[in-house]
A and B are shown apart, each in its own frame.
Chain A
Amino acid sequence: MKEMVRRCGVAVSAALLMQGCVSFTHIQNPVEDLLQQQRPAKALEVLERRSLIGCDKVLYNLDKGMLLRMTGDFSASNAAFEAAKAAQEKVEAVSLTEQAGATVVNDSLRSYASPLFEQVMLHVYMALNFLELGNLDGARVEMMQVDALMQDKGDKDELPFARYLAGMVFEAQGEWSDALIAYRKAYQAYRAHGQPIPDYLKFDLLRLTERQGLSDERAQYEREFALKDWPTPRARQDAELIVVVSNGLAPRKHEQAITAQDPTSGQLHRIATPFYEKRQSSIEHVRVRVDGAIADDALMDNLAPHAEAALAQAMPAIIARAIARVAVKNKVSDEARQKDAVVGLITNIAGVLTERADTRGWYTLPQEILLVRMSLPPGDYRAALELLGPGDDVRATEQLKEMRLERGQWRFVSLHWPASRSLWRGVR
Chain B
Amino acid sequence: MRHLAGLVTAVWVGASVLGLSACAKKVERIEVEEVRDLSGSWNDTDSRLVSEEMIRDVLSRPWLGEFTGKKGKQPAVIVGEVRNLSHEHISIGTFVSDMERELINSGRVEFVASKVERGEIRDERADQELHAAEETRKAMGQELGADFMLKGTINSIVDTEGKEQVRYFQVDLTLISLVDNRKVWVGQKKIKKYIKKPRFRL
Contacts and interface: CB of A to CB of B under 8 A. Distances in A.
Interface of A: 14, 54, 89-90, 92-97, 100-101, 104, 137-138, 140-141, 144-145, 147-148, 151-152, 331-332, 335-336, 338-339, 343
Contacts of B191: none
B87 A101 contact: no
Nearest to B4: A332
B18 interface: yes
B84 to A, nearest CB: 5
Contacts of A93: 197-201
A340 to B, nearest CB: 8
A100 B1 contact: no
Given A90-B201, A148-B87, 13 more contacts: A54-B19, A92-B197, A93-B199, A95-B200, A101-B11, A104-B8, A141-B87, A141-B88, A144-B156, A148-B158, A148-B160, A331-B4, A343-B1
B160 A152 contact: yes
A336 B8 CA distance: 14
A100 B8 CA distance: 10
Nearest to A143: B87
B86 A101 contact: no
B189 interface: no
21 contacts: A54-B19, A89-B197, A90-B201, A92-B197, A93-B197, A93-B199, A94-B201, A96-B200, A96-B202, A97-B18, A97-B202, A100-B11, A101-B11, A137-B85, A145-B87, A147-B87, A148-B158, A151-B159, A152-B161, A332-B1, A343-B1
A151 B160 CA distance: 7
Contacts of B88: 141
B194 to A, nearest CB: 15
B89 interface: yes
Given A97-B11, A97-B15, A141 B1 contact: no
Interface of B: 1, 4, 8, 11, 14-15, 18-19, 39, 83-89, 156, 158-161, 197-202
Contact of A137 (B8, B18, B84, B199): B84
A95 B197 contact: no
Contact of A138 (B15, B18, B89, B200): B89
A149 to B, nearest CB: 8
- Consensus secondary structure, chain A interface: helix
Nearest to B8: A104
B15 A101 contact: yes
Contacts of A339: 1
A104 B14 CA distance: 15
Given A137-B84, A141-B89, A336-B1, A95 B161 contact: no
A100 B10 CA distance: 12
Given A94-B200, A95-B201, A335 B84 contact: no
Nearest to A97: B15
Contacts of B198: 93
B199 A335 contact: no
Contact of B202 (A14, A95, A104): A95
A335 B84 CA distance: 63
A392 B197 CA distance: 51
A141 B87 CA distance: 5
A140 B83 CA distance: 11
Nearest to B3: A335
A332 B158 CA distance: 48
B14 to A, nearest CB: 8
Given A54-B19, A336-B1, A144 B200 contact: no
A137 B4 contact: no
Contacts of B8: 14, 104
A379 B128 CA distance: 36
B197 to A, nearest CB: 7
Given A332-B1, A335-B1, A141 B84 contact: yes
Contacts of A54: 19
A203 B147 CA distance: 45
A88 B14 CA distance: 24
Contacts of A338: 1
A144 B197 contact: no
A112 to B, nearest CB: 15
A92 B201 CA distance: 9
Given A101-B11, A151-B160, A338-B1, A140 B202 contact: no
A54 B21 CA distance: 13
A94 B199 contact: yes
A335 B161 CA distance: 46
A344 to B, nearest CB: 9
B113 to A, nearest CB: 23
Q: Which of B14, B19, B89, B158 has the most CB of A within 10 A?
A: B89
Counting from the closest, the 3 A-B pairs by CB-CB distance are: A144-B87, A148-B158, A335-B1
B190 to A, nearest CB: 18
B23 to A, nearest CB: 9
A141 B86 contact: yes
Contacts of A137: 83-85
Contacts of B83: 137
A332 to B, nearest CB: 6
